[in-house]
Amino acid sequence: MDKSLISEIKCIIDEIEGYDYISKVKYVILLICNELYNSINENPMKSTAIFKEYAKFDLENFKTEERIAELMGKNAGNIEISSFYPASLYEALLTDKEKKSLGQVYTPFEIINNMLHEMFKVKNIDANTKILDPSCGGGYFLIEIYKYIRHNHPEIHNRHIVENMLFGIDIDDFSIFLSKMGLIFHTGLDDIKFNIYNLDFLIDNLNIGKFDIIIGNPPYVGHKNSTGNYKKLLYEKYSDVYYDKADISYCFFKKGKELLKQEGIISFITSRYFMEALYADRLRTFIKENYNIVT
């Protein structure tokens, strides 16, 4: 979406009364997804399972619904729905203050596609390949992987890719909504059986099997930003990589290894700090003893 359209959307958000800014943003994105979905599907989005699942974000403001419908109607020809990323709009509507409070950082597409390019050079895939993003956020990795598979393996049907090959996990329920809607728009499918779950990758029982590829951008959360009870759980489960002032992202390397198939590959974005940090010594040892590093 261009900047002028985003500015108009922000004006509509600002006029909604009685709610915090983030709730208003989520509501307006829900409405926009609804309008775009309805423009390409016979059945209205409000009758679908995904809308009912995320109806908690619906503030039911009739005036706002009318304004968004009018705005999307005027700009319908300027929006390429099949390449629309709801998470990109979410990013554009949040201020720096909100982004900081949410602790959500989305990965630039250039970095994602570089990672995919390098990963698929060393890892062949077929219709039986299972791929997991354990902190999927707004679905950027999942969508780009979908596009890569469709382009390079046209023999694999789009529904098979999203229902059997792609898996995502995130602790934030609105991020799950963004991921699902992004895949709906890019695939053109309207009744997908998603394997995208609102769970804590590190703590919850997942029961989703093992994977050929685990890829993503785990959250960097230092000891100062972790709650006492959560840190205690992590200390108990991940003591061989996580202790004292270590970063939560270190735990993803151990959990990832547990969910990786024998010939699987992990590709994570991480800070270079772990290579020298005092409290990353256990992680360095774990990587050395459990992984073969591909360069």
Backbone angles phi, psi at 123, to 5 degrees: -130, 110
CA distance 12 to 16: 7
pLDDT at 49: 84
For range 143-154, the mean pLDDT: 97
How many residues in total does the chain contain? 295
First to last CA, the chain: 37
Q: What is the rounded distance in angstroms from the CA atom of residue 139 to the CA atom of residue 131? A: 13
Q: Where are the alpha helices (DSSP H) in 62-160?
A: 62-74, 86-93, 96-102, 109-122, 140-152, 158-160
Q: What is the pLDDT of residues 222-249, one digit of tens each?
A: 545 567 789 999 999 999 999 998 999 9
What local confidence, expressed as pLDDT, does residue 55 receive?
A: 92
Tokens of residue 176, six digits: 């799950």
- The fraction of the chain above a pLDDT of 70, given in percent, is 98
C-beta of residue 248 within 8 angstroms of C-beta of residue 231: no
Structure confidence by residue, pLDDT tens digits, 41-91: 887 888 888 888 999 999 999 999 999 999 999 998 889 999 999 999 999
pLDDT value at residue 85: 97
pLDDT at 222: 57
> β-strand 211-216 against 196-198: which pairing, if any?
unpaired
For 78-130, what is each residue's pLDDT tens digit?
A: 899 999 999 999 999 998 888 777 777 789 999 999 999 999 999 999 999 99
Opening angle at CA 112, ends 107 and 118, nearest 5: 150
* Domains of the chain by start residue, with CATH: 3-101 (no CATH), 109-290 (3.40.50.150)
Whole-number Å distance between alpha carbons of 249 and 253: 8
44 Cβ neighbours under 8 A, 6+ residues apart: 34, 38
> Which residues does 198 contact at the CB level (< 8 Å), separation at least 6?
170, 171, 172, 173, 176
